[in-house]
Structure 1
């Protein structure tokens, strides 16, 4: 146990987050995402939705201020511009953690898969809401 560190942040996750550099990409994905076959590095957080996982991660993870958008979301197939509840919840968590409005944008499903395959780390959650998949660009401290 570590003082003031969210208990969701296990040793493997903290190590990967610490190893990431400015501009590296973090994917936080739902239970339907093919994380095991896509990820270069994978950490699984069972029993956790994407918003809860992001809130914990964002206590130690700075979001980039040089790249816009620094937050990307998987959009619904054929209607990528629609902002779903899961998207709004994650956006609110990121904005709150950063103390600013963080620019975000949708990605088409297969473009999201392509970019997630290049992410430094994939954090798989058990988020049940569809299209609960996000990419965050790491900033500087």
Structure 2
């Protein structure tokens, strides 16, 4: 255990966060996201929800101030689902001064982007369309 670092962040995830460079992207996928199929590097945090993981990561991880830095999976127009979790994400991301607001990508474009991400975190999040990509900046 270390002081000041959330215990939700595993040693494996901390190593990955340290390895990542400016512009690298990290996917935090909900429980339905095909993380194992797409990941170059996979971290499993199945017992946790995306908001808790996002909050812990953003305590250490700077968002990219030069580019879109928080990318969300767009809900198809044919799906009437509500996404209240997005407001939770917004409140968490607003703590970073470089947060530029959400950018939405169509579902299959999001999957293609996820395949190129530095790493994917698989979570136990039960909310749908709760997938998020964050782009790393500099300290």
* Smaller-chain TM-score bracket: over 0.9
Question: What is the rounded CA distance, in whole Å, between the counterparts of 1:58 and 1:35 in structure 2?
Answer: 21
By how many angstroms is 1:10 displaced?
1.1
Q: Partner residue of 1:103?
A: 101
CA deviation vs aligned residue, 1:56-110 (integer Å, no higher than 9, x gap): 111110001000x211100112369x982122211211112x0465322111110
Which 5+ residue runs of structure 1 have no aligned equivalent? none
CA deviation vs aligned residue, 1:103-138 (integer Å, no higher than 9, x gap): 221111100000000000101111101000011110
| Distance 1:108-1:83 versus aligned 2 partners, 3 A rule | farther
CA deviation vs aligned residue, 1:4-34 (integer Å, no higher than 9, x gap): 1110111100000000000000101100000
| Distance 1:79-1:72 versus aligned 2 partners, 3 A rule | farther
Whether 1:91 aligns to 2:90 is: yes
| Distance 1:83-1:66 versus aligned 2 partners, 3 A rule | farther
Which 5+ residue runs of structure 2 have no aligned equivalent? none
Q: Is the 8 A contact 2:63 2:99 kept in 1?
A: no
**4+ residue segments displaced more than 6 Å:** none
Q: Partner residue of 1:28?
A: 28
SS at match of 2:43: strand
Q: Is the 8 A contact 1:30 1:133 kept in 2?
A: yes
Q: Partner residue of 1:15?
A: 15
Aligned residues: 138
CA-based RMSD: 1.7
Q: Partner residue of 2:111?
A: 113
Question: What is the rounded CA distance, in whole Å, between the counterparts of 1:79 and 1:86 in structure 2?
Answer: 19
